[in-house]
Amino acid sequence: MDFLVRSFQVALFGLVDIRDPLGVGNQVRSAAGALFDGDPLVLPLPSDAPSEIPRIVLKSKDERYSCNVSGVRLDFFYREKEPARKWVDLRDEYLQHLSAISQTVVATLRTGITRLGSIAEFHVPIGTSPSLAMRRAYLKEGILPGEHEIQLGILHRQSWETIEINRWVRLRGKEGESALRVVVDINTIPEKKYDFDVEGIESFYNRVSSFFVADLEKIVLQRSGLET
């Protein structure tokens, strides 16, 4: 059974100096090589606009990759309209780009990264109705029949060495679809601020990647009874 990547988003949280948004965009674009080969977009925002709104948007021409930069965070996205790649097929490519972007953010733009986060969505064909499969796995017979959609979220709070994280695994089964949707949200807890260097950023996302490869399928399928 394949976990196909529909999207993956990394968020690096920290105060970004975007007084020269075009210069910042060029630095990030240059770090990624030829990845962001689409036209860059610099958004003219009023001075009182919320700092979370992106000022800089970079994209690849095929729109699979994109990057948003605001005054308080950088978000690096991968999206597929028709999921076809497993994480193990995408991992090295994505993490290599992320490493180059992180190096620019930390060393060149001198941004202090205080929090890290990621959200991945997987498309998991299971050969049957995903809502029916989730009902059989998680609900007693006769409980709330006739559902259009079932969603289940499981939160674990863990320590990864000196870092405290929240790890959400969310399952969604919808009537009429043929695949289960699995969303994994892993982030450092908002109550604590850190000071991540490039090595720390790489270590965190390598750990996220290892979870996708080694543990996610076992948690979602084997332990839940959703295997078909």
Own/partner contacts of 50-56, CB < 8 Å, gap of 24 or more, are 55/18, 55/21, 56/18, 56/21, 56/24, 56/25, 56/28
pLDDT-derived band at 222 (thresholds 50, 70, 90) equals low
Q: How many domains are contained in the chain? A: 1
Is there a domain that residue 228 lies in?
Answer: no
Is there a domain that residue 227 lies in?
Answer: no
Q: Is the pLDDT of residue 227 over 70?
A: no
In tens, the pLDDT along 196-209 reads 999 999 999 999 99
> What is the extent of the structural domain holding 105?
4-222
Is there a domain that residue 27 lies in?
Answer: yes
